[in-house]
């Protein structure tokens, strides 16, 4: 008996849910239909919208270049029925409006700092309208002016700088100088741009764990409206293994009056530096010179004299010496 009552209860609940689900489905169908009808009704009304229209320029002067780029699209504020606007925005790419430089109604720029011509986009409004559907009304065009400012194309030869970020492997270093072949390139472009370019750089190159000489072809970093000849250069980075070396040399005294004797403590200086293996056998103590200048006594604010390392080979790196100041005694 209890099982029979339980089964009847479940049947009752299922029936209620079924009726409720039917009501929800009917409601959603009516809601969808009413929304579609409302949307279709709204599309019959006129709307103001922004559309983008492509533009192409022809017959621009040869041997000249635009100082500023012209827009490739015009922004149109238009008024049209919703159906028309929806169809326009969903349609295939538009045929661009052709602006012929030779046959357009251009006005000369009167500014002393500029040379060129300008075109009022309001003057091409009717041409754009003919390429749109008849029920689309153009209210406004942006930009309102197209500036045709040109500059003469000139050439200029400039140096090339290698834009490098080099991380050497432990106990390796640069030997000599980085060279570039060719070391200069010829630029071709508007004079207003070339005047600002004393040099050009290669594209940035990062090198890690470098342990041998590197030769790499690198392109010149692009500059808008400028061409290069050649477009690439060969960068040579001489690399070799190095070792740390130490020399002890005597400290010389200079500008000491003949009647005086300047004694230093200590009398020698220790010089520590890095040298490439190929230059190691060239080293000799006579290639180094450390001095103390007696005349620096007048400027000294302590009881010590400064040591100056005035001579050392150009092929060594990371030069350090100690002491940098020494005690002294003056005897007559």
User: What digits encode the pLDDT tens for the residues 160-171?
Assistant: 999 999 999 999
Is 135 part of any domain?
A: yes
The answer as to whether 5 is a domain residue is: no
pLDDT confidence tier of residue 63, bands split at 50, 70 and 90 = confident
For residues 93 and 155, give the distance between their C-alpha atoms in angstroms, rounded to a whole number: 39
| pLDDT, averaged across the chain | 84
In this structure, the answer to whether residues 202 and 161 fall within a common structural domain is: yes
Residues 156 and 231 placed together within one structural domain of the fold: yes
Overall average pLDDT of the 249-260 stretch: 92
Please tell me the predicted confidence (pLDDT) of residue 231: 94
Residue 12 lies in a domain: no
Which pLDDT does position 44 carry in this prediction? 63
Average pLDDT over residues 79-104: 78
In a domain, 26, yes or no: no
Average pLDDT over residues 196-208: 95
In a domain? residue 7? no
Convert the pLDDT of each residue in 219-242 to its tens digit.
999 998 899 999 999 999 999 999
Domain match, 89 and 57 both: yes
Q: For residues 275 and 321, state if they share a domain.
A: yes
Residues 6 or more apart whose CB falls under 8 angstroms from that of 21 comprise: none
- Looking at residue 284, its pLDDT comes to 94
The answer to whether residue 321 is domain-embedded is: yes
Contacts of 135 (CB under 8 A, 6+ apart): 80, 81, 84
Domain boundary among 206, 237, 268: 237
- Assign 192 a pLDDT band (cuts: 50, 70, 90): confident
Q: What is the pLDDT of residue 108?
A: 79
Q: Is the pLDDT of residue 12 over 70?
A: no
Answer for the pair 315, 276: CB distance below 8 angstroms, yes or no. yes
Map tokens 């741009």 to a residue. 193
| Residue 23 Cα distances to 14, 19, 255, 271, angstroms | 14, 6, 112, 97
Within a domain: residue 8?
no
What's the whole-number mean pLDDT along residues 284-312?
90
What CATH number is given to the structural domain containing 196? 2.170.120.40
81 with 136, same domain? yes
Q: Is the pLDDT of residue 30 over 70?
A: no
Same domain, residue pair 109 and 166: no
| pLDDT, tens digit, 9 for 90 and up, residues 95-145 | 888 888 887 777 777 665 556 788 898 888 888 888 887 788 888 999 999
Q: Are residues 50 and 131 in the same domain?
A: yes
Convert the pLDDT of each residue in 257-284 to its tens digit.
988 889 999 999 999 999 999 999 999 9
Average the pLDDT over each of 23-27, 191-195, 240-244 and give the range with the smallest value.
23-27
Rg (CA), the chain: 41
Last residue of a domain, one of 237, 262, 283: 237
Considering all CA atoms of the chain, what is the largest pairwise distance in Å, rounded to the nearest integer? 137
With CA atoms as reference, report the closest residue to 87 among 38, 144, 41, 43. 43
By DSSP bridging, strand 268-276 and strand 316-322 are antiparallel
Q: What share of the chain is helix, strand, coil (3-state, %, to 5)?
A: 25, 50, 30
Decide if pLDDT at 178 tops 90.
Answer: yes
Final residue of a domain: which of 115, 143, 171? Answer: 143
Instruction: Over range 304-319, report the average pLDDT.
Output: 93
Note whether 255 and 289 are same-domain residues. Answer: yes
* Rounded distance between C-alpha atoms, residue 145 and residue 157, angstroms: 36
Q: Where would I find the H helices in the chain?
A: 2-43, 82-90, 125-131, 191-194
| Number of domains within the chain | 3
Residue 2 pLDDT? 46
Are residues 176 and 117 part of one domain? no
- Which tokens hold the place of 207? 């090198």
Nearest in space to 67 (alpha carbons), one of 190, 213, 208, 171: 190
Percent pLDDT > 90 in the chain is: 45
196 lies in the same domain as 256: no
| 120 and 182 part of one domain | no
Q: What is the CATH number of the domain that holds 249?
A: 2.170.120.30
- pLDDT grade for 300, boundaries at 50, 70 and 90: confident
Domain containing residue 102: 46-143
Q: How confident is the model at residue 75 (pLDDT cuts 50, 70, 90)?
A: very high
Higher-pLDDT residue of 293, 299: 293
Higher-scoring residue by pLDDT: 92, 176: 176
Same domain, 139 and 51: yes
Residues 253/292, Cβ–Cβ less than 8 Å? yes
Provide the pLDDT confidence category of residue 252 given band limits of 50, 70 and 90. Answer: very high
In a domain, 18, yes or no: no
């Amino acid at each position: 008996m209890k099982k029979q009552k339980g089964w009847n209860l479940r049947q009752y609940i299922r029936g209620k849910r079924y009726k409720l689900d039917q009501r929800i489905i009917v409601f959603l169908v009516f809601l969808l239909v009413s929304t579609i009808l409302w949307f279709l009704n709204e599309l019959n009304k006129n709307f103001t919208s922004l559309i983008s229209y492509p533009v192409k320029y022809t017959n621009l002067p040869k041997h000249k270049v635009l100082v500023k780029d012209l827009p490739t699209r015009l922004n149109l504020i238009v008024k049209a029925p919703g159906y028309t606007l929806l169809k326009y925005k969903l349609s295939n790419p538009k045929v661009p409006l052709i602006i012929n430089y030779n046959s357009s109604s251009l006005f000369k720029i009167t500014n002393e700092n500029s040379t060129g011509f300008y075109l009022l986009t309001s003057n091409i409004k009717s041409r754009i309208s003919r390429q749109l559907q008849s029920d689309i009304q153009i209210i406004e065009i942006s930009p309102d002016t197209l500036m045709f400012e040109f500059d003469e194309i000139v050439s200029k030869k400039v140096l090339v700088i290698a834009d490098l970020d080099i991380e050497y492997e432990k106990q390796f270093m640069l030997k000599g100088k980085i060279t570039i072949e060719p070391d200069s390139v010829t630029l071709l472009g508007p004079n207003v741009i070339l005047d600002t370019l004393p040099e050009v750089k290669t594209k940035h190159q990062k090198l890690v764990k470098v342990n041998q000489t590197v030769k790499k072809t690198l392109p010149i970093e692009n500059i808008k409206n400028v061409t290069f000849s050649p477009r690439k250069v060969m960068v040579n980075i001489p690399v070799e293994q190095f070792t740390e070396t130490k020399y002890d040399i005597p400290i010389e005294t200079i500008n000491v009056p003949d009647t005086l004797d300047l004694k230093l403590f200590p009398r020698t200086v220790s010089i520590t530096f890095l040298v490439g293996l190929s230059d190691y056998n060239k080293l000799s103590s006579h290639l180094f010179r450390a001095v103390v200048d007696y005349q620096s006594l007048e400027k000294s604010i302590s009881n010590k004299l400064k040591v100056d390392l005035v001579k050392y080979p150009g092929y060594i790196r990371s030069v350090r010496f100690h002491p940098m100041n020494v005690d002294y005694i003056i005897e007559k």
